[in-house]
Amino acid sequence: MTKVLLSAHVLGAILAVGSIAMAASLFPRYAKQAVTDDERASGRAAGIAALLHRVCRGYAVVGFVVPVFGLATGAQLGVLTDAWLIVSMILTAVAAVMLAAVILPHQQRLLAMPRQDTGAEGLRAATSRLTMLTGIFNVLWSVVVVLMIVRPGSTTGA
């Protein structure tokens, strides 16, 4: 049963979290391109940005199963009180809150920006801020992945 739970956890992380990380990273680029003078390029970029936002939103919901399977796997292995897993759970919670409370709303505001008269500087600042936030989000997940592989202090021999 442990192998099934671990497989579901890893597959969920790759498919859901990986998709969110990629879509969130690409979003600012297309949001910025959506306000160019070239109407055709602008419309295409706006459509791509909207699609990337939907991917982030949709996979955020699906991504909920990743920690669920992770907790089930940890319980099966008897490592729920290990420091590396507790730190991983805290970082996962921080990343999830960051996605739900900061990144997704910021993307939504950027999607609405081209319809407003915010100017190039406002757009540049907003996309730069979102790029930074997305980078932090991705670093959090990278640290979680390293902790899951290295498992500092683990007695499993990995």
Is position 155 within any domain? no
Q: Is residue 156 part of a domain?
A: no
Tens of pLDDT, residues 73-84 = 999 999 999 999
Using pLDDT thresholds of 50, 70 and 90, give the confidence band for residue 113: confident
Rounded average pLDDT over 125-149: 95
Residue 138 lies in a domain: yes
Q: Cα separations (Å) of 130 from 49, 74, 127, 142, 145?
A: 13, 33, 5, 18, 23
Q: Decide if 104 is inside a domain.
A: yes
- % of the chain residues with pLDDT over 90: 74
Whole domain around residue 82: which residue ranges?
2-150
Q: How many distinct structural domains can be found in the chain?
A: 1
